[in-house]
Structure 1
Amino acid sequence: MSEEILINVTPQETRVAVVENGVLQEVYIERARSRGIVGNIYKGKVVRILPGMQAAFVDIGHDRTAFLHASDIRPVSGVENAGPVPPINELLQDGQEVIVQVLKDPIGTKGARLTMQITLPARYLVYLPYSRHIGISQKIGDEATRERLRALVKSALPEGAEEGGYILRTLAETAAEEEIETDIRYLRRVWVACQERIRSAPVLSLIHEDLPLALRAMRDLVRGNVEKIRIDSREVYTKAIDFGIEFIPEIAERIEHYPGERPIFDLYSVEDEIQKALDRKVMLKSGGYLILDQTEAMTTIDVNTGAYVGKRNLEETLFKTNLEAAQTIARQLRLRNLGGMIIIDFIDMAEAEHKRQVLRALERALARDRTKVYLTEMSPLGLVELTRKRTRESLEHVLCQPCPVCEGRGMLKTPQTVCYEIFREILREARQYGADGYLVLASQAVIDLLFDEEAGSMVKLQEFIGKPIQLKVEPLYTQEQYDVVLM
């Protein structure tokens, strides 16, 4: 499976598209005004301890205080402790200065999630400055390979190095000894610079900032099957080449500057695919479709057969639609970056073997996801629950905001509903105030209905209250807005 990475750079934002076999799979967006802060290290200050939640709020110099759980506090000794976590008020005090790293960006109304267990990522390794542990990615399953890599790291450590542990990333499986050594030198240089900042910087300072998106994409997304990295900015291309030569020399020759007049995201219809990823409805090639709804608590995905009727029987139709849906759902989770709890409502199938095959197909499709996904068995009702680790905002939350008209409900009251609300409001006003008449201000659709289908009701209401009612269109009003003005 061949991959290309397209990087579109403007002064306002950087966008990265991961394309597999000509099909968009993932999109990353970083805006200059709202750069993500995951991976950043701060010198913060504890502002409030919550013993009941085993957590503390920490000021890191941002608008919202961040959240630090007791389980994410580094033991004083710097050695991992398998025992129970002590009470939070034994670990921290109000006003205490702490060195913390951001685990999760602020999402919605929630502040950033923090840890004191600092990690610094490189191409093949993650450095753990407060640990002596050497770990291996779980995706490297072969025991002989795991032992070889562990020995490789130990032999590559500089003489007299006593502090610091490492986790070998999945990419390290094919790394040469000199590449591991290069990563170790780079990570130790970064940590030395961090220590200097920790000593000299005032509280609420940024100690270390993660790489910008374009370089981060090269570090984290480029694997052996990536054929090209195309960048449409000459300046960022130059930085990428320098970064590649220093830290990832094997990919430097795959980095290209894209000078074409046609926008880079028009290749492989990336712009169109991003627009489609904002729709609730996703069409399947068979004629079926998915409906995706994001809520505060979870994301729900409903699978429907639509126009697909199959060739032989109903069970075959349902099975084929669910199989296609499983592939599409895995892609949509990556493309839309949906995280947290996700409920999939597959079409109910009678045969247990069909259910098993659909679930296995979903598992295989999710195996390509870089983000950790936990999947449950299919319930008797045909529901599949899964959780996908959430570290940043979904594509919809990055590009969109709740509709100011429906306030995120996705529905509006009908003009008829609003008419009846107006009638009740007029009756309420008539009982309370002795006005000479009433002026109704409302949207065009509501006023049209009052003049047309509800004209008889208007006449009866005027007779009942004994006062005239005038109607006026207010062009700026939404369908749900209205005012009843006393005359």
Structure 2
Amino acid sequence: MSIELLINVTPSESRVALIENGVLQEIQLERIGNLGIVGNIYLGKISRVLPGMQAAFVDIGLEKAAFLHASDIVNSASIVEGVDDTPIKKVQDIRELVRQGQYIMVQVVKDPLGTKGARLTTDITIPSRYLVFMPDATHVGVSQRIETEEERGRLKKIVAEYSDENGSFIVRTAAEGASEAELRHDAAFLQKLWQKVVSRRKKTSKASILHEDLTLAFRTLRDYVGEDMERIRVDSKLTYQELKLFTEEFVPILSQVLEYYPGERPIFDLFDVENEIQKALHRKVTLKSGGYLIIDQTEAMTTVDVNTGAFVGHRNLEETIFNTNVEATSAIARQLRLRNLGGIIIIDFIDMVSEDHKRRVMHSLESALAKDRAKANINGLSALGLVEMTRKRTRESLEHILCDVCPACSGRGSQKTVETVCYELLREIVRVNRAYDADKFVVYAAPAVCEALLNDEYHNLAELELFIGKQVNIQVESLYSQEQFDVVMM
């Protein structure tokens, strides 16, 4: 598989596009005025304890208070006996763990999403190229993607030497084959960084930031270590030079594929990235066969509806449905990554009769999602033929970053018809006439509504004038939306 990264940097915004086999798979954005805070470590102040939710609101210096659940507090769980003496974990009461006014060191695991504040944990982790440092841990963990037992044992033995009462490490997938010197360098770097965090904590007596994660470009290179990267192109000379120094010190393997892109043609035009971003904002996604997906993102969940569309197949209906569903699985997996959709996701595949077809479609979906770096859990087909799944969400979706609620429809996705607005307007005239004494009325409305009142709905307007015994004048307001109108007394 050919993998390439395109890094586009401007004074106000940084964007990173992941290209696999010439096709855009992921897009990440970071704006100077709204930097992501996942991975940042703060000294926070408990502003409110909520026993009913087993959680607390924490002031970390942001506009919205952050959220800390009892289960996200280290050592909050105790082992108790369950049914048949089976040991189970029971989370302590939040009131036993924190108190209002208390200062506590926390790390952001989810950016503020919509109306919700950031999600926090006290289980601090600091990643580097090969290792993840865990200040509160005493054991060494090894990535499950390192499958060779001999290599796992070697890495665990080396890293264990650098673990002590101040913390331990998780060995990342990229550490497979790494030398002892490289692992020692990483461990020393992380321990030194942690000491800086501890030092800042001792000097601080108010809610403030103690450690800030890397910016998007640097974070991307750190996180993609271990991927078989063919090329990394950067269109900013200054950022390229900074990344060059960063890769030479921390990620030498990537310095060989990092290059500056000086071309006059915008870097995102190389693989039609800009057009793909625009398509990712549409509800409808067309499939090559002629079928299509409808993707709707709501506050509670994301729904994906699969349709055959213009695809009529070549053999029979059951085969047509199966082929459409299989093709949809790869398209769905790509759209989830591209749009950065997370949380609960419901997929409505076209109904299948054959159990073999159902099994093969589910296998195809699982295979497609296996390429996704975000963790996904699939619960299988429900009794209604729906696939219920979740995908880990840490940052806002592409739509929430690039778009705002439509002022005309307030996010409904539709607007009232001209006929509906006309009848609302006529009822409003009656209401105002009963409440106030006026000689006549002037109605200000959108052009389409005014045209309807003077033509198709003129007889209703004339009957209203006879009913209230007053004149109603119509005035066009070209800047009004279709649902907007004003009734003015004269």
Q: TM-score range by the shorter chain?
A: over 0.9
Structure 2: how far apart are the matches of 1:222 and 1:336?
23
The aligned counterpart of 2:81 is none
Structure 2: how far apart are the matches of 1:120 and 1:482?
55
Aligned pair partner of 1:89 in 71, 95, 106: 95
Structure 1: how far apart are the matches of 2:469 and 2:88?
80
The aligned counterpart of 1:337 is 340
Q: Give % identity.
A: 57
Letter in 2 for 1:86: Q
Matched, 1:52 2:52: yes
Please show how residues 243-282 of structure 1 align to structure 2 within 5 Å.
243-282=246-285
Aligned pair partner of 2:398 in 390, 395, 398: 395
Structure 2: how far apart are the matches of 1:340 and 1:243?
34
> Does structure 2 conserve the Cα–Cα contact (< 8 Å) formed by 1:50 and 1:56?
yes
Matched, 1:151 2:157: yes
Letter in 2 for 1:351: S
Q: How far 1:381 sits from its partner (Å)? A: 2.6
> Does structure 2 conserve the Cα–Cα contact (< 8 Å) formed by 1:182 and 1:247?
no
Letter in 2 for 1:113: R
Structure 1 pair 235/251, CA: closer, same or farther in 2 (3 Å)?
same
> Does structure 1 conserve the Cα–Cα contact (< 8 Å) formed by 2:173 and 2:226?
no
Q: How far 1:263 sits from its partner (Å)? A: 0.7
Query: How well do the aligned residues superpose, as a CA RMSD in angstroms?
Result: 1.7
Please show how residues 1-40 of structure 1 align to structure 2 within 5 Å.
1-40=1-40
Structure 1 pair 320/83, CA: closer, same or farther in 2 (3 Å)?
closer
Aligned pair partner of 1:220 in 203, 223, 228: 223
Secondary structure at 1:139's aligned position in 2?
Answer: coil
Structure 2: how far apart are the matches of 1:469 and 1:301?
48
Q: Which runs of 5+ in 1 are unaligned?
A: none
The aligned counterpart of 1:129 is 135
TM-score, normalised by the number of residues in structure 1 = 0.95
Matched, 1:429 2:435: no
Cα-to-partner distance string for 1:184-228 (whole Å, 9 max, x where unaligned)? 122112112111111113311211000111000000024341111
The aligned counterpart of 1:42 is 42
Secondary structure at 1:228's aligned position in 2?
Answer: strand
Structure 2: how far apart are the matches of 1:353 and 1:148?
43
The aligned counterpart of 2:306 is 303
Q: Which runs of 5+ in 2 are unaligned?
A: 78-86
Letter in 2 for 1:168: V
> Does structure 2 conserve the Cα–Cα contact (< 8 Å) formed by 1:348 and 1:381?
no
Aligned pair partner of 1:109 in 98, 111, 115: 115
Q: How far 1:424 sits from its partner (Å)? A: 1.4
Cα-to-partner distance string for 1:24-66 (whole Å, 9 max, x where unaligned)? 0001101000001111111111111112222111111111111
Q: How far 1:142 sits from its partner (Å)? A: 4.5
Structure 1 pair 19/133, CA: closer, same or farther in 2 (3 Å)?
same
Structure 2: how far apart are the matches of 1:387 and 1:60?
29
Matched, 1:167 2:170: yes
The aligned counterpart of 2:104 is 98
Secondary structure at 2:43's aligned position in 1?
Answer: strand
The aligned counterpart of 1:74 is 74
Cα-to-partner distance string for 1:302-334 (whole Å, 9 max, x where unaligned)? 111111111111111111111111000000000
Letter in 1 for 2:200: R
Aligned pair partner of 1:380 in 368, 380, 383: 383
Cα-to-partner distance string for 1:59-114 (whole Å, 9 max, x where unaligned)? 1111111111122223399xxx9853322222212111111111111111111111
> Does structure 1 conserve the Cα–Cα contact (< 8 Å) formed by 2:129 and 2:225?
no
Q: How far 1:422 sits from its partner (Å)? A: 1.2
The aligned counterpart of 1:291 is 294
Q: How far 1:15 sits from its partner (Å)? A: 0.4
> Does structure 2 conserve the Cα–Cα contact (< 8 Å) formed by 1:2 and 1:21?
yes
Please show how residues 359-374 of structure 1 align to structure 2 within 5 Å.
359-374=362-377
Secondary structure at 2:467's aligned position in 1?
Answer: helix
Cα-to-partner distance string for 1:379-409 (whole Å, 9 max, x where unaligned)? 2332101100110000000111111111111
* 11-20 or 125-134, which deviates more: 125-134
Structure 1: how far apart are the matches of 2:72 and 2:384?
38
Q: How far 1:452 sits from its partner (Å)? A: 1.3
Structure 2: how far apart are the matches of 1:8 and 1:82?
49
Structure 1 pair 142/378, CA: closer, same or farther in 2 (3 Å)?
farther
Structure 1: how far apart are the matches of 2:149 and 2:10?
46
> Does structure 1 conserve the Cα–Cα contact (< 8 Å) formed by 2:13 and 2:32?
yes
Q: How far 1:181 sits from its partner (Å)? A: 2.0
Cα-to-partner distance string for 1:445-470 (whole Å, 9 max, x where unaligned)? 10011111111222222222221111
Structure 2: how far apart are the matches of 1:381 and 1:92?
44
The aligned counterpart of 2:80 is none
Structure 2: how far apart are the matches of 1:445 and 1:142?
70
Letter in 2 for 1:137: S
Letter in 1 for 2:223: D
Structure 2: how far apart are the matches of 1:321 and 1:110?
37
Structure 1: how far apart are the matches of 2:256 and 2:436?
80
